[in-house]
Amino acid sequence: MTKALIVIDVQNDFCPGGALAVPGGNEIVEGINALMNAFDAVVLTQDWHPSGHSSFASSHVGKVPYDLIEMPYGPQLLWPDHCIQGSLGAQFHEQLYTDRADMIVRKGHNPQIDSYSAFFENDQETPTGLEGYLRTREIDALTLVGLATDFCVNYSAMDAVKLGFETEIRIDLCRAIDLDGSLTAATEQMRDAGIRFARKA
């Protein structure tokens, strides 16, 4: 079985001090680095929003972060401005071993559609190209790590299973936002889908 490590959004804005900081987001970097050499391929994803992205609360009059609105593709949670293309916040955490990456997938660059998953934008139709890359490399098993467990890791894992990849999450190398019980809901959803949860022994 050919295996890939998918490292989700380990970027400055999702780490302490960032615009959308995930508690403990910086704590997983060393463990992720240590895991990389155990895989046939390493893929990094990078949130990469243009200024004024439609998922930003600041783009909607009278709205604040974490309000829920309806978009053409369905419900959309609004976020603080984050991971803006070319900004310091959009850069990978400085200690992450980016040189080990075989591929970097930038997502969220369409100003009209948010993109949590490493595989599809939130319309669930527009692909990022990651699936094609993995198929070409004959990769059939994925381990996911990164930020945040209940959003981008969750969406990526659910899409991976739907696409037929054997999917595992190293839960000790993820951290969650946990908005109103979102972590529990996401964990249950992933377990029900057959996604394995593992941690360092």
Active site residue ranges: 9, 107, 152
Residue 133 phi/psi, 5-degree rounding, is: -60, -45
Rounded CA separation 91/99 (Å): 14
Reference 198, options 151, 163, 166; nearest CA is 166
DSSP alpha helix (H) spans, 64-174: 130-136, 154-162
100-127: string of b/e by CB count within 10 Å (b at 16+)?
bbebebbbbbbeebbbbbbbbbbeeeee
Answer yes or no: are the C-beta atoms of 108 and 115 closer than 8 Å.
yes
DSSP category for residue 95: T
